[in-house]
Amino acid sequence: MRRFFIEYSYIIGFTITGLVFGLACFLLFVNFYHYKNTNVVYYQDSVLSKRLVSINNKINSAHNNIYSVDVNGYSGDIDKVSLLNLYSKLSFCITKLDSIGSSFNKKKLNVQDVYNLTLLYKNNIINDCVVVQLYDLDKNINIEKLNIIKPFVKLNADSLINSVSYVKKNLENNSSYFLSSKFMKDNVFEVTRDSYIEVLNSYEESVDLVYDLTVFFKSLIGV
Amino acid sequence: MKKILNLLLYILRYILCIIAFFITLYIMIIMCNRLDKGFIDILYLAIPYFLLFLLFLFNLFLRNKYINSNIFYNITCCLVFIVNILVCCRCLFDKSMLLNRVYGYSINFGFFNDYLSFNSIMLYGLAVSTIFFMFTYNRNN
């Protein structure tokens, strides 16, 4: 056995060196490929731009619905304090939607921009507006008609709360090596582009929810 | 030409070994601080570097031409340390990997952790192949 090792130690040494060389080359190329994949830049196309314009128009309509009514001058059956509470919740949400609207208009996005946008949307809209303001809509608000739309609001809020959690986790896991082909990136999933579209979809749903609530509010006042 | 290239790689492997060791140690120390672990817990990671460096010095004094003039072995050593330095630099400076900022240390510990097992395999592999080449030296002497 000893003689065998001494005779063939040169071959075994080269074999092991060759295997280590192969592993090192693999790691080197995988790192270059991974770097190229994580540095993909997404350029916003015309379809998304039109979508953003329609979302902005909806926010403006919601804005008009809320600010065109004179809540202080209301003299109907509904409790005025409750109306004012509902008014302040909705105007807070519209302010938040206005504040982050410009962040979606960026034409050139890399993965860091999409991640920042996800955090901004999650903190400002999901946490501050949907969870704090809209989830328990009838808290300190005594309006009978609210019971009709409360389940609808809660259902939408539940769907929105979890809508971007997996996007955030997926983006944070972009350190793992993934060897996706160009075919997969064009047809199945591309991290930067598709994460941005998921956040935009969720943003559009939250705008729709707030808009519907402003229409409801306007109908309460009777305008 | 081959001799000049071999000499360059021969000197480079010592320099790269030292740089790779210190940059890895830097990341490991911060990782230990984050996890409240003692330095003894990461000492096992330094063993392959020390072992390899000792074998390099041993062969330097023995003037073992089967290792020192082995261009393929020298290229492999340099490549292994270059990969090590490249991965450590990506952990520290590549901001497109989002875990780099999530932990709050500006170091992507997850990415580094994934690489550690490959690093140990490559370094121990090099040490074992060095020992086999030393047997060859002894046989021919």
Contact of B137 with B66, CB cutoff 8 Å: yes
Sign of the dihedral defined by the CA atoms of residues B96, B100, B102, B105, in that order: negative
Query: What mean pLDDT value characterizes chain B?
Result: 86
C-alpha A51/C-alpha B26 separation (Å) is 48
Per-residue pLDDT of chain A (223 residues), as tens digits, is: 777 777 788 888 999 999 999 999 999 999 998 888 888 888 888 888 899 999 999 999 998 888 888 887 777 788 888 888 888 999 999 999 988 888 888 888 888 899 999 999 999 999 999 888 888 877 777 888 888 888 888 888 888 888 888 888 888 888 777 666 666 666 666 788 888 998 999 999 999 999 999 998 888 887 6
- Taking the whole predicted model, whether its pTM rises above 0.95 is answered as no
C-alpha A167/C-alpha A201 separation (Å) is 12
Q: What integer pLDDT is reported at residue A72 of this predicted model? A: 79
Q: Which residue of A has its CA nearest to B116?
A: A27
**B128: nearest CB among A6, A16, A21:** A16
Q: What integer pLDDT is reported at residue A187 of this predicted model? A: 61
Q: Give yes or no for A132 touching B (CB within 8 A).
A: no
B122–A176: do the CB atoms touch at under 8 Å?
A: no
Q: What integer pLDDT is reported at residue B18 of this predicted model? A: 92
Task: Give the lowest-confidence range in B5-19, B28-42, B43-57, B108-122.
Answer: B28-42
Count of pairs with CB atoms under 8 A, one residue in A, one in B: 102
DSSP code of A128? I
B17, B69, B76: which to substitute to probe chain A, counting the most A Cβ within 10 Å? B76
Q: Give yes or no for A53 touching B (CB within 8 A).
A: no
ipTM value of the model? 0.92
DSSP code of A129? I
* Partners of residue B72 in chain A, C-beta under 8 Å: 14, 17-18, 21
Average pLDDT over residues B101-109: 79
DSSP code of A103? G
B100, B123, B130, B132: which to substitute to probe chain A, counting the most A Cβ within 10 Å? B132
